[in-house]
Amino acid sequence: MSYKSMLLLAAAALVPSGAIAQTPAPLTLGEAEYYTAPAVNYLVFSNWYDGLFADSKISGVEIIQQDSRIATNGDVRLSATPGQWDVTGRLIDRHVNRETGVIEAELEYPDQGFRYTIRAEPVGDALRISVILPRALPTALVGKAGFNLEFIPSAYFHKSYIVDGKAGAFPLYPAGAMVRTDARNAASGRDDGPGAEPLPMAQGQNFVLAPSDPARRVTIRSDRPVALYDGRNQAQNGWFVLRSELPADKVGTVLSWTVEANSVPGWVRPPSIGHSQLGYAPDQSKIATIELDRNDARRPDIRLLRIDASGEEQVVKAGKPDDWGNYLRYHYLRFDFSDVTEPGLYTLGYGDIRTAPFRIAADLYADAWHPTLDVYFPVAMDHMAVNEAYRVWHGPAHMDDARQAPVNHEHIDLYAQGPTTDTPFAPGEHIPGLNIGGWFDAGDFDIRTQSQYQVIRSLVRSWERFGIDRDTTSVDESNHRVEIHVPDGAPDLLQQIRHGTLQLVAQFDSVGHAIHGIVAPDVAQYTHLGDAGSKTDRKIYDPALGRYAVKGDHSGMPDDRWAFTSKSSALNYGSIAGLAAAARALKTLDPALSAKALGIATRIWGEEQGHAPDMFRHGNTTGGPLPWEKFAAAVELLKTTGDTRYAKAVSDIWPEIAKDFPPNAITAAEALPLMPATYRQAMEPVVRQWVRESSEAIAGNPYGVPITEGGWAGNGTVIGYGLATDALHRAFPDIVKQDGVFRALSYLLGNHPGSDISFVSGAGSRSKEVAYGNNRADSSFIAGGVVPGALIIKPDFPENHEDWPFFWGENEYVIPEGSDFIELTNAAHSLLTAKRK
């Protein structure tokens, strides 16, 4: 097909279907086991909840229309607008019949004794979805069980719908009617008053969503009544839901929907030019990755243009990009312009697609991390009031910390308490001294100890290697106040290290060992958005007082966070590593805290050697594998004290580390200057193996970094690869090349699948401006935060929404990625500076 023909077909896709005669193409079941029509895909249980954080909007029947996943969670649910923590059916099996094109998923609600099958089969260009019951619906589920299909609200803002011939409009902001339901409130773990459920916005049997927009038009025809709900009335992360209740006293096929997402023959996804939105240093490699629809046969030249002060553009390099091949659902080309080194402002053009301007500059990475240290980390500081000029980010947060968690309790967000408290405190009792230091772990407000010590170690590495003395923030620990953009004479990096260290020290002072963390006591408080200072009343709970009674610094409000305290040697060792590292960095800023941190680290190390390890584990809150954490503790203590006992411990643990080297590569390299030559000799073959395995992993995609495909996107893995490359290159320069450092940064800053946006808010010309931070309800961002990135929706769809913040697996800031970004950008700057000398 000619380039002109492809343009005509693409233009036709923008015209309403009534204006051009089109013959709908029938659905086909492809090799990847999902249904395909031009510009439309239907996934049927290709994805399933990962079990970590309940409903993550990646399951059941899903619709991808014109390269946007607009619908998900097509499944039987037990309420009209189920929340994140509501029960879901358990997937038993999935069957694909290639001959008939039928996909069936068998599921059950075991506690309710309810089993059912979702059947999908193509009917021309539509998909028929049926719910099949082998036995009649249990009486307790009559009026509760129904087939739901959820539509992302951002796809339908400013759009309308038609139901049985009657028009309606999707609300920009939730404004639907509600009905009070105390039973629902109790079931969801709330203790802050009554709850409510939304009433239907519209009802009928034939819905057309966005009839005037070919890119979002979806038609649903049902043999039973369908109701449209706005889930945002109940929770900001709710979606628009179409739902049909299942009938009582029937078996076999009890419900049938025909779903037709508008298909546009000839539609071609516009190309995406992956590149660093920040730009490139003159001496680094510069590769743009062009991501194409596999049906896009166009191959125009790609052009690199230099922009001068008058706005004039000059083509400095042009030509046909190199063909790389297929990855995921797209085809890829690559354009290498590494030979262009002149500093200046540039843009890339491919056909009609133009990138935002980016720089080539020698000092490119010298300040890329500033928003992370200047804004993101201050905003993340717990137990502080944080102000920025006219804006209050949050008031003093969680000053009523914390109550002892109940025993034998599995909590939300992967926290759990074992059969004893392992502390002097009874369940529910206030644990004094924990209301100091620490950072909010992520877009939520818990203090996860493992994250705290990871961040401290990374910040200490940045301090010791790069000497970062930037001062733009005032931190007053005694009065729990922070002022952003107001210097106070102390290096901000050291003040952040101190803030994290204060929380680790407080844990040992309060209970004698590292704890899992401190988290909200119930779902209602956990889902709090906005000002962390208003999340609790900041007064210590006293059960003798009435619910709203206040007496001094106590109240009858049980809103104090819970501390999970079951002993874990892995957490103790991880905290030892953080404290030992902090002791080195804080010698000048806070010598007393430095000495105390080291004293705790050495004492707890000694205690751990005197007993069998405490192996309590749950979720991701109880530390990494024990050998990893013990190795890190030994290395940091060795660096801080020089004591040969710790060198022996490093040698003793090394054989286990060598078996699982990649996540421990940075720590292993840190030990090299303090270890005998035999350690380097043992490490060298492991490093060579790392190079071989890394090369194999990155060869499978056009970006040259490891891309993970789990339920949480992989920017953490990419940054870790970059930092490991840096550490091993410095230790073994003849074995490990430095290129991986810059590939990792380029990926993070825009050269990745799905789009070309920078995954660091405020870094680069186009960066994340809608993210899962504590201000996500405002569809906003926190400058310097790093999001998880491109989530691979199985089997082959890379996704990162810039129009909907509530995808934590794609858009949630987490503090370790923040500190690691500071470290990685400074490492890149250091490597380039050394090269120019």
Would you list the DSSP string of 164-232? Answer: TTEEEE--SS----EEE-HHHHHHTT--SS--EEEPPSEEEEEEEESTT-TTT-EEEEEEEEEEEEEGG
Cα–Cα distances (Å) from 69 to 261, 351, 794, in that order, read 12, 26, 12
pLDDT class of 9 with cuts at 50, 70, 90: very low
User: What is the Cα Rg of the chain in Å?
Assistant: 28
Count of Cβ atoms closer than 10 Å to residue 338 Cβ: 12
Higher pLDDT, 182 or 632: 632
The pair of structure tokens assigned to 515 is: 């704890």
Name the average pLDDT for the chain: 94
pLDDT at 185 over 60: no
Q: What is the pLDDT of residue 592?
A: 98
Q: Delineate the domains of the chain, giving CATH numbers in brackets.
A: 3-261 (2.70.98), 272-360 (2.60.40.10), 377-624 (1.50.10.10)
pLDDT class of 7 with cuts at 50, 70, 90: very low
Q: What string of DSSP letters covers 643-676?
A: -HHHHHHHHHHHHHHHHT-GGGHHHHHHHGGGS-
Region 338-348 average pLDDT: 98
Q: SS3 for 454?
A: helix
Find out whether 402 and 435 touch, Cβ atoms under 8 Å: yes
Which residue, among 506, 516, 502, 501, has the nearest Cα to 572 in the 3D structure? 516
Residue 760's identity, in one-letter code, is V
Find out whether 695 and 704 touch, Cβ atoms under 8 Å: no
Q: SS3 for 221?
A: strand
Region 609-632 average pLDDT: 97
pTM: 0.95
Q: SS3 for 226?
A: strand
Calculate the CA 109 to chain-centre distance. 29
Region 28-48 average pLDDT: 96
Q: What is the pLDDT of residue 194?
A: 66
Rounded Cα distance between 750 and 594, Å, is 39
| Segment holding 610, helix H or strand E | none
Number of residues that this document lists for the chain: 837
Q: Strand (E) positions, 520-674?
A: 540-541, 550-551, 554-555, 562-564
Which residue, among 248, 302, 252, has the nearest Cα to 274 in the 3D structure? 302
pLDDT at 283 over 70: yes
Find out whether 818 and 455 touch, Cβ atoms under 8 Å: yes
Region 314-318 average pLDDT: 98
Q: What is the pLDDT of residues 416-459, one digit of tens each?
A: 999 999 999 999 999 999 999 999 999 999 999 999 999 999 99
The DSSP call for residue 767 is: B
The pair of structure tokens assigned to 85 is: 């923590």
How far the first Cα of the chain sits from its last, in Å, is 53
Q: What is the pLDDT of residue 830?
A: 97
Which of 492-496, 707-711, 786-790 is predicted least confidently? 707-711
Q: What is the pLDDT of residues 691-719, one digit of tens each?
A: 999 999 999 999 999 999 988 999 999 99
pLDDT class of 17 with cuts at 50, 70, 90: very low
* Residues 6+ away with beta carbon under 8 Å from 268: 6, 9, 10, 13, 293, 295, 296
Based on DSSP, count helices (H) and strands (E) in the chain, helices before strands.
Answer: 17, 43
Q: Classify residue 368 as exposed, middle or buried by CB count within 10 Å of its CB (0-12, 13-18, 19+).
A: buried
Q: What is the pLDDT of residues 49-69, one digit of tens each?
A: 766 666 789 999 999 999 999
Find out whether 654 and 682 touch, Cβ atoms under 8 Å: yes
Count of Cβ atoms closer than 10 Å to residue 227 Cβ: 20
Count of Cβ atoms closer than 10 Å to residue 160 Cβ: 15
Which of 183-197, 266-280, 292-306, 806-820 is predicted least confidently? 183-197
Rounded Cα distance between 588 and 599, Å, is 17
The DSSP call for residue 312 is: -
Region 89-101 average pLDDT: 95
pLDDT at 189 over 70: no
Q: What is the pLDDT of residues 234-259, one digit of tens each?
A: 999 999 999 999 999 999 999 999 99
* Helices 626-641 and 591-609, axial angle in degrees (round to 10): 130
Pairing of strands 540-541, 554-555: parallel
